[in-house]
Each structure stands twice: as C-alpha cells, then as structure tokens.
Amino acid sequence: MMIKSAFNSNNSVKNSSLFLSILFFITGLIIFVAVMILKLHVQGEIIELGYKLNNVENKKKGLIQEKKKLDIEIQYLKSPDRIDELAEGFGMKIPDSERIIHLKRRSVMANR
C-alpha cells in the first residue's frame, strides 16, 4: 500500500508538472499571438499613414504648381502693356498737358 500511495503521489506530481507545463505553453502561445496581432495592426497603421502622407504631398505639389500658374496670370493681368491695350479699347487716351489739373497734396493729419 505504501508503494501504491508513493506511486500515486509521484503520479500526481507528474500530472501537476505536466498541467503547469501545458498552462505555461498555452499562456505563452496566447501572448505570442496577441503580440503578433498588435504588430500587424501597427504595421497596417504605418502603411495607411504612409499612403495618406503620399496623398498630401501630391496635393501640395499640385497646389504649388497651381500657385505658380496663378502668379504668372497675375503678372500678365498687371502688366502695363495690357492695361494700355485695355484703355485704348475703351477709347481712353493720355490727356494733353493743358487738360491735366494739379491738386495740392494734403497731409494725412490735416484730414483728421
């Protein structure tokens, strides 16, 4: 009987040790899977942010090109030659010197 109880005691220690080993393995596996899922999620976020950054940079380049075109158009619209052509088209001409009326310049402080 004593041998049998020693055998059962030894067997329960083995079962307990096996149970703990399996428990540690499963816990480690769960932690590993959780870390891998988190890693994949973070990598997905990084890729998504990379695409967004690329889109913003492309939009910025397009806006810079559009600004350059608009600056060129502003320079054209402000050009004295163009303004002279428009004035002639409206029948305007440079007045003769006798038609020019010179006004006295008032200071800004006098108007207040």
Q: What is the reported pLDDT for 95?
A: 86
3-state secondary structure of 110: helix
Q: Find the DSSP H helices in the chain.
A: 2-78, 80-89
Q: Where do the structural domains in the chain lie, given as residue ranges?
A: 2-92
Q: What is the reported pLDDT for 111?
A: 57
Is the full-model pTM beyond 0.85? Answer: no
In one-letter notation, the amino acid at residue 14 is K
Tens digit of pLDDT per residue, the chain (112 long)? 444 554 555 677 778 889 999 999 999 999 999 999 999 999 999 999 999 999 999 999 999 999 999 999 999 999 999 999 999 999 998 888 888 888 888 766 655 5
Q: What is the reported pLDDT for 6?
A: 47
